[in-house]
Structure 1
Amino acid sequence: MNRLSREVGALLSRYLSARARGPYPHPAADLEAMRELLQPADVILVEGDRRISGAIKYLTQSTWSHAALFVGERGGVDSEGRVRALAEADTEHGIRAFPLDELKGYHLRICRPAALAPEDALRVIGYVLARVGDRYDLKNVVDLARYLLPTPPVPTPWRRRMLALGSGDPTRAICSTLIAQAFQSVGFPILPVISAEAGSAPDCRDCVREIYHIRHHSLFVPRDFDVSPYFSVIKPSLMQPVDYRTLTWAKDDQMVGL
């Protein structure tokens, strides 16, 4: 039964990983500009066009459906001699390193951990690369089958929790669990739960201190790196800003509807 479940799970994974039909919503990123900007342990957010991407965008209420980590030359090279500069968790391939060129044509965003120490950046990268080659157990078919419905009728407060339901393995491959665990391994915050408690200073009775609680890694999604106050957003297109005063705009009667 487990073998049959795994085979069905692998089939579902391939189906969900295939590209969906329809136009791509946003302009593609300039990969050459990104090569010049990327730094170790940067997180690259991807607006995917896979069948599963629509469900993830809907459940997370975000543009971003996937995340990868920039590992630079430490990822080695592929059979064509290309540097495998990124690492990701994927349902079909497991944890792998791959070239930046594979993201050609996609809308991307760089999220940079602010003030991350260089030695900790290397530890984050090492955490992920040590797991390259690991594959996820796809025998829990229900965990994958729920993504066949791109917009499940789930109330907004429950949508993030829906991603974390189930056996765990397919969830870890779909969400940003691996990258979240890597940053948590060096104590770097993403979106911690913060509580306050009375301070212990004798000369300040009204003082309170903030306590940072680690959010469980299964609850992290790509958008968390975008909205995190501890990551700065880098947009390659803004490195060479356009002079808006030189743009030629159409007349009002030629406006294009959305």
Structure 2
Amino acid sequence: MDKAETWLDRFGRFLAHRLQEESSGYKPYTPSDPLTLLASLKPGDVLLIEGNQHISAVIKYLTQSTWSHAALYVGDVLPWTGPADERPRLIEVNLGEGCVAVPLKKYRTYNTRICRAEGLSEEDRRAVAAFMTGKLGLQYDMKNIFDMLRYFLPAPPVPVRWRR
């Protein structure tokens, strides 16, 4: 590993940490109830989340959406022996963490919505859950951090006609 790669990796992790800091003043309109979500979700559903991190504000601005994060509901396919409310039922990809499994209660203080694809068979739903389960442990591509950095920096002091 060369020094440039090490420096870039460290800088990317630093930026990821800064972007994941929580914004002040976030108040959910209707926080999610994990038990209600559990009764409503089916494997293969996508849980949309209105995040409260700095990166969330950028994502919401760029996508012109209320939602800044998404997690896939996989149900009870992951082995678990702990308390039921701690059981990981969602798979998500987080900046700095990569692909991880988390419990529903993680999003109890956020606005959430369920996005369900129409026409999926139970076999299709199991296939989607199995695909994402197989991706657990993969790392987030830190190159995306540098691409997002340009949205945090002011416009360069050059005429608009010279910019791309």
The structure 2 residue matched to 1:135, chosen from 134, 139, 156, is 139
Match among 55, 72, 75 for residue 75 of structure 2: 72
Query: C-alpha separation between the residues in 1 aligned to 2:30 and 2:136?
Result: 30
Q: 2:23 aligns with which of 5, 20, 23?
A: 20
- Runs of at least 5 residues in structure 2 that lack an aligned partner in the other structure: 156-164
Tell me if 1:121 matches 2:125.
Answer: yes
Structure 1 contact 70–85 (Cα < 8 Å) conserved: yes
Q: Does 1:107 align with 2:107?
A: no
Distance 1:137 1:60 in 2: 20
SS for the counterpart of 1:148 is: coil
CA distance in structure 2 between the partners assigned to 1:80 and 1:7 by the alignment:
36
Residue number in structure 1 paired with 2:37: 34
Residues 1:140 and 1:38: Cα distance change in structure 2 (over 3 Å): closer
Letter in 2 for 1:71: V
What is the letter of the counterpart of residue 104 of structure 2? Answer: L
Show CA shifts across 1:37-73 (max 9, x none).
1111011000000110011111111100011100011
Separation (CA, whole Å) in 1 of partners of 2:130 and 2:73? 11
* Number of the residue aligned with 2:66: 63
In structure 2, relative to structure 1, the CA distance for the partners of 1:3 and 1:79 (3 Å cut) is: farther
Please state if 1:6 is matched with 2:25: no
Partners of 1:5 and 1:140 within 8 A in 2: no
SS in 1 for 2:23: coil
Moved more, 74-83 or 93-102: 74-83
In the alignment, the residues of structure 2 paired with residue 140 and residue 120 of structure 1 have an alpha-carbon distance, to the nearest angstrom, of 30
Change (3 A) 1:41 1:9: same
Q: How far apart, in 1, do the equivalents of 2:83 and 2:150 lie?
A: 37
Evaluate the alpha carbon distance shift between residue 76 and residue 16 of structure 1 in structure 2; reply closer, same or farther with a 3 A threshold.
Answer: farther
Q: Which residue number in structure 2 is paired with residue 178 of structure 1?
A: none
| Aligned-CA RMSD value | 2.1
* TM-score, L = length of structure 2: 0.83
Q: What is the TM-score normalised by the length of structure 1?
A: 0.54
Q: How many residue pairs were aligned?
A: 151
Correspondence list, 1:217-256, <5 A: none
Instruction: Give the match for residue 48 of structure 1.
Output: 51
Who wins on radius of gyration, i.e. which is larger? 1
